[in-house]
């Protein structure tokens, strides 16, 4: 800088101060600010893995953080916040979200046949589902599996063990059923399944083998657990610090589940035909009116803080597959969507699970996310249902499901903003599981 330039700069500063002094007298002028220092900078460790330059949605339901940052050390999240608050050393490994959205890895809380490492890698992890919860696991398949497999990184999987039920009860097959005949046997079944590594216990209350929303010629009834057996299972499961999840496809046995004190209801307890008044009004085409007796049961689910995992897309797609007319297809939608919509309006908690596995394999469960939006949930709530709440019903919310310091580092980045368009969840650009980068591929 030349001497002349220095003098001009000094003069400019004096003028600025003089103007300011004049203004201070009349109008409360602030002195010219000093050049801006970085905001209270937290210094990031040189060996950290950092994801930044994106919107952070942390999965707790909190509003998104624009220009956010997630800092990872080894396999844990150590910080989440505004990028401006963090100073990055040149050595830090930085993954650029390129203006996309940084989220917790998605948890699909209800899937089947997910133990294979290739399924966990190609269907789940690479599509952003970092955790899958297998809800009917044969005893022979129950083994804890690492995220690093012989084929590379794969999604976590937690499992329930076989469905505990009466002999010949749902689901009727040997390998997916753990048959019990009395409360003592039921307690021992829980102990064995937990000892083999189950994260939760799965039951079924299914009175018959058919539940389409129109009258059928015949229904074959199937055996079910008694209230005493159910209560024994719930008490024993809770003694192990785990949750009881119950397949419940119709309202018929809902009261029994409520009396037993179960923790989640899987699927939708579909109302009886006489308990639902189907709408013919085109302006309200997907939502019917429910009988007060059924509404009272929904209110009881809410009051008992039971989480609903409605698996809506599976139910509706399955039902529509049997519906030969448009009217019946519409019936399928009203039958499944209306109870969930009312449950949500009453303040009930919903977790995402899509029941994929046997006939269909999904990756990112966007179809289920769309169904949850269609019952009135906000996009932020749908993401919370797919992360924090889903991890909770799988029994792992203490370590997974949100972007918070101390949680395991399962983080994804999608292009775009799913709060504006849920389809953005399909556009995966980064996947980190247990602090290791799985996408983009090395």
Interacting residues with Zn ion between 92 and 131 (CB under 5 A) = none
Nearer to Zn ion, 29 or 139 (CB): 139
> Using alpha carbons only, how large is the chain's radius of gyration in Å?
27
Closer to Zn ion by CB, 264 or 379: give it.
264
Q: Nearest CA to 382 among 406, 413, 354?
A: 354
Phi, psi (rounded to 5 degrees) for 73: -125, 125
Q: Can you state the percent helix, strand and coil of the chain, rounding each to 5?
A: 35, 25, 40
160, two tokens: 């329930």
Which of 369, 342, 250 is closest to 288 using CA atoms? 342
Q: Judged by CB under 5 A, which stretch of 41-49, 54-62, 349-357, 367-375 contacts Zn ion?
A: 349-357
Which residue lies nearer to Zn ion by CB, 58 or 206? 206
CB nearer to Zn ion: give 355 or 368.
355
Given the complex with Zn ion, which of 58 and 355 has the nearer CB atom? Answer: 355
Among 58, 355, 368, 434, binds Zn ion (CB under 5 A): 355
Region of 155-163, 210-218, 348-356, 384-392 interacting with Zn ion (CB under 5 A): 348-356
Q: Which is nearer to Zn ion, 174 or 191 (CB)?
A: 174
C-alpha dist (Å) from residue 299 to 244, 261, 293, 310, 393? 20, 15, 10, 16, 20
Q: Among residues 103 and 164, whose Cβ is nearest to Zn ion? A: 164
Distance (Å, whole) CA 426 – CA 442: 21
The count of chain residues that interact with Zn ion, using the rule CB under 5 A, is: 1
Number of neighbouring beta carbons within 10 Å of residue 241: 8
Print the SS3 string covering 230-288: HHHHHHHHHHCCCEEEEECCEHHHHHHHHHHCCCEEECCCECCHHHEECCCCHHHCCCC
10 Å Cβ neighbour count for 120? 26
58 binds Zn ion (CB under 5 A): no
How far is it, in rounded angstroms, from Cα 422 to Cα 53? 20
* Region binding Zn ion by CB under 5 A among candidate stretches 20-28, 86-94, 351-359, 369-377: 351-359
The separation between CA 217 and the C-alpha centre of its own chain, rounded to angstroms, equals 38
Residue 393 host element (H or E): helix 388-393
Least Å distance, CB 78 to Zn ion, is 36
- In the bound state with Zn ion, the residue whose beta carbon lies nearer, of 266 and 410, is 266
Closer to Zn ion by Cβ: residue 275 or 355: 355
Q: Among 76-84, 196-204, 274-282, 347-355, which window interacts with Zn ion (CB under 5 A)? A: 347-355
Shortest distance, CB of residue 119 to Zn ion, whole angstroms? 15
Tell me how far apart the alpha carbons of residues 418 and 206 are, in angstroms, rounded to a whole number: 36
Q: Which stretch binds Zn ion (CB under 5 A): 193-201, 275-283, 355-363, 418-426?
A: 355-363
Task: Please report how close the Cβ of residue 355 comes to Zn ion at its closest, in angstroms.
Answer: 4
CB of 52 to Zn ion, least distance (A): 38
Side-chain-side CA neighbours of 211 within 13 Å: the count stands at 24
CB of 247 to Zn ion, least distance (A): 6
Closest CA to 186 of 175, 200, 201, 208: 201
Q: How far is the CB of 127 from Zn ion (least distance, A)?
A: 20
Residue 355 or 434 with smaller CB distance to Zn ion: 355
Query: C-alpha angle with apex 121: 119 to 124, nearest 5 degrees?
Result: 75
Stretch that binds Zn ion, among 51-59, 94-102, 207-215, 353-361 (CB under 5 A): 353-361
- State the minimum distance, in angstroms, from the CB of residue 209 to Zn ion: 15
Minimum gap (Å) between residue 303 Cβ and Zn ion: 25
Kindly state the smallest distance separating residue 112's Cβ from Zn ion, in Å.
6
Residue nearest Zn ion, Cβ-based: 355
Smallest separation (angstroms) from Zn ion to the CB of 266: 6
Length reported for the chain: 442
| Residues contributing to the site for Zn ion (CB under 5 A) | 355
């Amino acid at each position: 800088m030349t001497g002349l330039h220095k003098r001009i700069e000094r003069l400019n500063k004096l003028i600025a101060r003089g103007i300011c002094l004049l203004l201070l007298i009349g109008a409360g002028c602030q002195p010219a600010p000093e050049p801006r220092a970085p905001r209270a900078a937290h210094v990031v460790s040189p060996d950290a893995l950092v994801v930044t330059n994106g919107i952070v949605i942390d999965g707790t339901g909190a509003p998104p953080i624009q220009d956010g940052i997630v800092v990872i050390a080894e396999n844990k999240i150590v910080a989440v916040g505004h990028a401006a608050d963090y100073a990055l050393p040149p050595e830090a490994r930085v993954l650029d979200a390129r203006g996309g959205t940084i989220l917790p890895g998605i948890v699909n809380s209800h899937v089947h046949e997910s133990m294979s490492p290739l399924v966990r890698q190609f269907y789940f992890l690479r599509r952003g589902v970092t955790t899958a919860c297998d809800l009917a696991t044969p005893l022979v398949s129950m083994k804890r599996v690492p995220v690093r497999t012989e084929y590379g990184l794969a999604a976590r999987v937690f499992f329930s063990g076989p469905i505990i039920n009466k002999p010949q009860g749902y689901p009727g097959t040997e390998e997916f059923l753990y048959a019990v005949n009395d409360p003592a046997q039921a307690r021992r079944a829980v102990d064995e399944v937990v000892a083999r590594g189950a994260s939760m216990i799965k039951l079924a209350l299914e009175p018959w083998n058919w539940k389409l929303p129109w009258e059928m010629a015949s229904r074959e009834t199937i055996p079910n657990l008694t209230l005493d057996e159910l209560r024994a299972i719930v008490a024993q499961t809770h003694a192990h610090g785990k949750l009881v999840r119950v397949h419940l496809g119709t309202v018929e046995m809902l009261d029994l589940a409520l009396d037993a004190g179960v923790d989640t209801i899987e699927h939708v307890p579909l109302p009886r035909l006489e308990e639902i008044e189907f709408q013919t009004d085109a302006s309200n085409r997907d939502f019917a009116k429910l009988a007060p007796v059924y509404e009272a049961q929904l209110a009881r689910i809410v009051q008992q803080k039971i989480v609903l995992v409605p698996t809506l897309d599976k139910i509706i797609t399955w039902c529509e597959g049997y519906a030969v007319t448009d009217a019946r297809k519409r019936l399928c939608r009203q039958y499944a969507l209306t109870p969930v919509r009312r449950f949500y309006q009453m303040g009930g908690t919903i977790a995402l699970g899509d029941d994929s596995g046997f006939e269909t394999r999904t990756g990112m469960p966007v179809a289920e996310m769309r169904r949850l939006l269609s019952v009135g949930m906000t996009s932020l709530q749908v993401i919370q249902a797919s992360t924090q709440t889903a991890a909770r019903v799988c029994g792992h919310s203490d370590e997974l499901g949100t972007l918070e310091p101390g949680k395991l580092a399962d983080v994804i980045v999608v292009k775009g903003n799913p709060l504006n368009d849920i389809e953005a969840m399909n556009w995966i650009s980064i996947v980190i599981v247990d602090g290791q980068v799985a996408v983009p591929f090395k």
